[in-house]
Structure 1
Amino acid sequence: MEIKYVMVKKNIKNNIINGKYKINEKIPTEAELMAMYSVSRYTIRRAVGDLEHEGYIYRVQGGGMYVNDWINNKVRSERSNQSVGVITTHIADYIFPNIISGIDQVISEEGLSVLIGNTHDEYDNERHNLLNMLDNDVVGFIIEPTRSTLENPNLDVYQMIVNSGKPAVFINAHYPQLEFPYVEIDDTKAEKQLVDHLLDNGHERVLGIFQVDDLQGVNRMNGFIKSYQTHPNVSSSGDIMMYRSSDNINNVLEKVKGRVDVQLENRPTAIVCYNVSWQLK
């Protein structure tokens, strides 16, 4: 069973890290915390004493307790400045094992380690990983954005990274609101070349399947459209199906089936997919 003061400390710390108690904002008084957690004053004082020592809160004499700038002013642990935070949408499948392995190899050569986070393309997971890595005082970030074409609710956390001075780089996509450097493939050009090849070799009815809540999918779809624009004789024959990462995969597959199980003269002669894993499905 977890010791009471440890439980209280962990809960207050999580509220600070998650932004419920914001930097320089006053936190509840000792009496209020005692009532909230149903514990003694000694337990509260031990918990907040640890948090003060670690740099998460500070006291103003006669004015209560406030949230410290915990990113820049907290007590550094022995792990400080030894890890690079790597956040991707997936870890174990598709291209990601090779990407993460390559990152780890380069970072290891610099005497650093990798702290890995996985968002599953969910904003809540992205937020949790970013805050956890800030709390672990990573030296920098390598991040694959989550649903990069949509409005991101975690820009406040990214601003915390900017304010901390820690370097960050995006891979595969980027958020246009942020000025972090990024490394991307030219998805529009690559998709156009792919569809050009199909159209130049006699295909007319090509079905394109694209995930449209990330930048890669939208850019690939744009490449698909550009290819048909440069083949005006078949420009009305292409077909596009869009989906989002949150959609039920079985429902999406049923829709694909509906596009394929048609009379021969209307059936697509080729299909281009969002990525290789789609082809396997």
Structure 2
Amino acid sequence: MQKKYEEVVAWIRGELREGRLKQGDKLPSENTLQVRFGVSRQTIRKALSVLEEEQIVRSVRGSGTYIEIGKQKRQRSMRIAVMTTYVDVYIFPLIVKEIERVLSDEGYFLQLAVSNNAIEKERMILKDFIRERSIDGLIAETTKSGIPNPNLKLYKELERMGVPILFINSFYPELDIAHVSLNDRAAGRMVTQHLLDCGHINIAGIFKADDGQGHQRYAGYVDALMDADIKVKGKQVVWIDSDEIAEMRDDCSRILKRIKGCTACVCYNDEVANKLVGICMDQGIRIPDDLSIVGIDNSDLSRFCEIPFTSADNPVQELGKIAAEMMLDKIQGIGDIETVELMPDLVMRNSVKVITHI
């Protein structure tokens, strides 16, 4: 008498013979197969295990089981790719250095790739990873995650190949892939609340439009204002994209027009805050007497700016450490990998005028 798991195996083989399943196709979920055959999950897993041993299917953790006839398991290269938008500026060196330290301690090499926050460059890098099949895992910073991205199917292809992926700093909401980042909404709320606590009511904001972090930090800004029963005024919010940050001084008239009448401004990050400090100094706007400024990330820019400014700390070294450890766990199949969002701390400097004492 044919065993239950053998019925499942026979059905899948039959589907292959009839052409209803072909190379690369994803099998129905375990739950669907359980219902179809009226068997337990253990029986389904036994059937899939038999087919995997015969090199007919391959299971991808967190993704599903795929038809991959005759494909051998790839030997580990002991190489983990880290793809960031930038590498030698701002907070990125500290993140990369910490990831490399953890990976190196476990005998892995770091393969660094830089997208320059360009979707086409990200696409080229991902295609190289797929073609070369030389990495054991990918820690990736998203590219312009606030707008539609045509490269998501390449991430799915890497997952289908068995390459574990982890996002840092932000994530693509369309993909079910864990990420490690600052809790950006909490950071936006924290710096805005600090301004409210200091007595500011008319609070402007400058946020990045083309990445998810900008949207989340704006959401935190809105949360704090609404909780204080303060109307969110769209005319007091400036939206900029990645390319426009470098040109903020050239666009100072638009920015100053939007924040006119405000006593304080929440900046998307320290880079934006640093640029705003420069604009204010050029225009004779005194900080904090005329305008209070806060940033996010607590980078070197916040400490060594001509006017050091208050910022929400982004624990980037901890972020790098956790990301590397999570990737190692994913490669080794240790437990379920879940998203980690780190809470910020407020680092106060002399860029905020106290209208009413905290």
TM-score category, normalised to shorter length = 0.5 to 0.7
Q: Which has the bigger relative contact order, CA under 8 A and spacing at least 6?
A: 2
- Aligned: 1:121 with 2:111: no
1:131 counterpart (124, 127, 141): 127
The Cα offsets for residues 257-280 of structure 1, whole Å up to 9 and x where unpaired, read as 4443799xx433222211112222
| Contact preservation (8 Å) 2:238, 2:255 | no
2:297 matched residue in structure 1: none
Any stretches of 5+ residues in structure 2 without a counterpart? Answer: 1-22, 25-67, 276-358
1:38 matched residue in structure 2: none
Q: How does 1:62-101 map to 2 (within 5 A)?
A: 81-101=77-97
| Contact preservation (8 Å) 2:245, 2:272 | no
2:158 counterpart (153, 158, 161): 161
Return closer, same or farther for 1:192/1:256 CA change in 2, 3 Å cut-off.
farther
Match for 2:194: what amino acid?
H
1:179 counterpart (173, 176, 179): 176
Shift of 1:229: 0.8
Return closer, same or farther for 1:173/1:237 CA change in 2, 3 Å cut-off.
closer
| Contact preservation (8 Å) 2:201, 2:230 | no
Match of 1:232, SS?
coil
1:190 matched residue in structure 2: 187
- Aligned: 1:211 with 2:208: yes
Return closer, same or farther for 1:256/1:208 CA change in 2, 3 Å cut-off.
farther
TM-score (norm 2): 0.53
Match of 2:154, SS?
helix
TM-score (norm 1): 0.66
The Cα offsets for residues 70-99 of structure 1, whole Å up to 9 and x where unpaired, read as xx66997xxx51210101111111110000
2:99 matched residue in structure 1: 103
Match of 2:242, SS?
coil
1:148 counterpart (139, 145, 148): 145
| Contact preservation (8 Å) 1:228, 1:238 | no
RMSD: 2.7
Match of 1:203, SS?
coil
Return closer, same or farther for 1:163/1:207 CA change in 2, 3 Å cut-off.
same
Shift of 1:244: 1.4
2-structure distance, mates of 1:261, 1:210: 16
2:265 counterpart (265, 271, 276): 271
Return closer, same or farther for 1:88/1:182 CA change in 2, 3 Å cut-off.
same
